[in-house]
Amino acid sequence: MLSAFVNAFRTPDLRRKLLFVLVIIVIFRAGSQIPAPGVHVSNVEFCIGEAQKGENASLYSLVNLFSGGALLQLTIFALGIMPYITASIILQLLVVVIPRLEALKKEGQSGQTKITQYTRYLTLGLAVLQATGIVALARSRNLLQGCDRDLLHSNDTKTFLVMVVTMTAGTAVIMWLGELITERGVGNGMSILIFTQVVATFPAALWQVKITEGWWTFGIVVVIGLVLVAAVIFIEQAQRRIPVQYARRMVGRKMFGGSSTYIPLKVNQAGIIPVIFASSLLYLPAMAVQFNQNSENPSKVIRWVNEYLVDQGNPVHMAAYFLLIIFFTYFYVSITFNPQEVADNMKKYGGFIPGIRAGKPTQDYLSYVLSRITLPGALYLGLISLVPLIAFVLINASQNFPFGGTSILIMVGVALDTVKQIESQLQQRNYEGFLR
C-alpha cells in the first residue's frame, strides 16, 4: 500500500491529482472547525465535555461520526456527508420501486446523470430538515443532554434561519468538493470525504481511552483494533467467483466470444448500508424518549424503551441491533443484485455457467449462491457492529471507542478502493510491452 503511494508521487500526473485531493481535504476540515453564525462556542465546548460523561452521549454518534465531530460543535459543515448518504440510499431504493427511475438507470450515462441530479435535490431537502431539527434542539438545550447552558447567543427567529441556511449551504459545498475530487482527483470523492471525517475523530478517541482507562486498557484496545482491521480486510476482499463461459458466434465476418470470465459475488455484498439502516431505525425510539424526557409521569412504553432499547449496554438492544443488521443485509442485497437480470443478460450475449442451463436454471443457481454467501456477510456485519457495544460493557468506553464497526468498515473499504485505483493508474502509465 505504501509503495503504491510512493510510486504515485513520483509520477507527475498522479502527484498533481493527489495534491489536489489533499488541498480539498484541508479545505473540508477547515470548514468543519468554523462555527456557524450565532453559536456560543465556549458553552458548546463545555457542554460537549459534559455530554461525553452521560449515558446518552452516543445518541447522535452515527451522524456525528460522518461529520467528523462537527455536528455537536455546530459548525458550518455540521451535517457532514450524512444527507448525501441518506439521499443516495433512498434513490437506490426508489429505483427498484419507481419504473421511471428504473428506466433512467437502464439508459446508461445520461440516465445516471439525471439520477445524480435528483440525488442532489433530495440531499438539499434532507439537509434543510436535518439542520432545522439540530438547530431546534440546540435552541431548546436538548442537543447536548446534561448541560443547561445556552448553545446559541440568541434564540430569535433570525438566528435560527441563518443557522439553517448556513448548514444547508455547507452541505451543498461538501457535495461540490466531493464531485471535484471525483473529476480531478483520485478515487470516489464522497467516499474520501467520509474517510476523512472518520479518521479525523480517530486519534482523539483513541487517546481518550488512554486518559480515562490507562495504558493497560489502551494497549488492549489497540491490539483488538489491529485484529479487527485484519479481519475486515480479509472479509472485504473475500468473494465467490462464479465462472461464466461465452460461446463463439459469428457477427458479419468476425468471430466473437469464446472467452471465459467470472461473476464476483463479495461476501459483504451490501457494504455498510445495513449498519446505517439498523442504527437509524434504533435511533427513532431514542429520539422519541428524548422529546418526552421532561414528562413527570412517563408511560410504561417510554420507560420500557428507555431501559431496553436506548441503553446500548442492554442485551435486548444488542440483539435487536444484530437482527436488524441481518434483515437489512438480505433486504439490500435483494434489491441491488437481480439474478433474473443477470441471467437474461448472460443468455442475450451467449454466456452460460458451466453445468447450468441458460435462463431460469441460471437465475435459480445465482439466487441459491447469493442467499448462501449473504449469511456469513450478514453475520460478519452484525459482529463487527457489536464491538463498540461490547466495549461499553467491558471497559465503559463506547463513547470514545475508536474501533467501532462503522468506522472500521469505512476506513478499510475506502482505503482499499483508493489504493486499487492508484495502482490501476500506475499500471496504465508504466505499462511495458513486448518491445522495449
Distance CA 91, CA 245 (A): 34
pLDDT of residue 339 exceeding 60, the answer is yes
What SS3 state is found at 189?
A: helix
Number of residues assigned to the chain: 436
The answer to whether residue 169 scores a pLDDT higher than 90 is yes
Dihedral, CA atoms, 393, 398, 401, 405, nearest 10 degrees? 90
What pLDDT was estimated at residue 293?
56
pLDDT at 82 over 60: yes
The DSSP symbol for 153 reads S
Q: What is d(CA 97, CA 111) in angstroms, rounded to the nearest whole number?
A: 16
Distance, C-alpha 1 to centroid of its chain: 22
| ∠ Cα 324 329 333 (to 5°) | 150
What is residue 56's predicted lDDT score, i.e. its pLDDT?
A: 45
CA angle 83–68–147, rounded 5-degree value: 95
Give the pLDDT band (50/70/90) at residue 165: very high
Q: How confident is the model at residue 113 (pLDDT cuts 50, 70, 90)?
A: confident
Each domain of the chain, given as residue ranges in start order, spans 1-185, 208-429
Average pLDDT over residues 370-392: 83
**The predicted structure's pLDDT at residue 148:** 73
| Separation CA 30–CA 262 (nearest Å) | 45
Q: Hey, which CATH number is domain 1-185, 1.10.287.130, 3.90.79.10, 3.40.640.10, 1.10.3370.10?
A: 1.10.3370.10
The pLDDT confidence band at residue 291, using thresholds 50, 70 and 90, is low
Q: Is the confidence at residue 338, as pLDDT, over 80?
A: yes
Bridge-based pairing state of the strands 249-251 and 239-246: unpaired
Tell me if the pTM is above 0.75.
yes
DSSP 306: I
**pLDDT level of residue 68 (50, 70, 90 thresholds):** low
Neighbour count for residue 245 (Cβ, 10 Å): 16
Domain formed by 208-429, architecture: Orthogonal Bundle (1.10)
**pLDDT tier, 55 (very low <50, low <70, confident <90, very high otherwise):** very low
Question: CA-CA distances (angstroms) from residue 184 to 16, 178, 222, 413?
Answer: 9, 10, 36, 21
Q: What span, in angstroms and rounded, lies between the C-alpha atoms of 55 and 310? A: 9
* Position 276 confidence tier, pLDDT thresholds 50, 70, 90: confident
State the average pLDDT over residues 234-262: 76
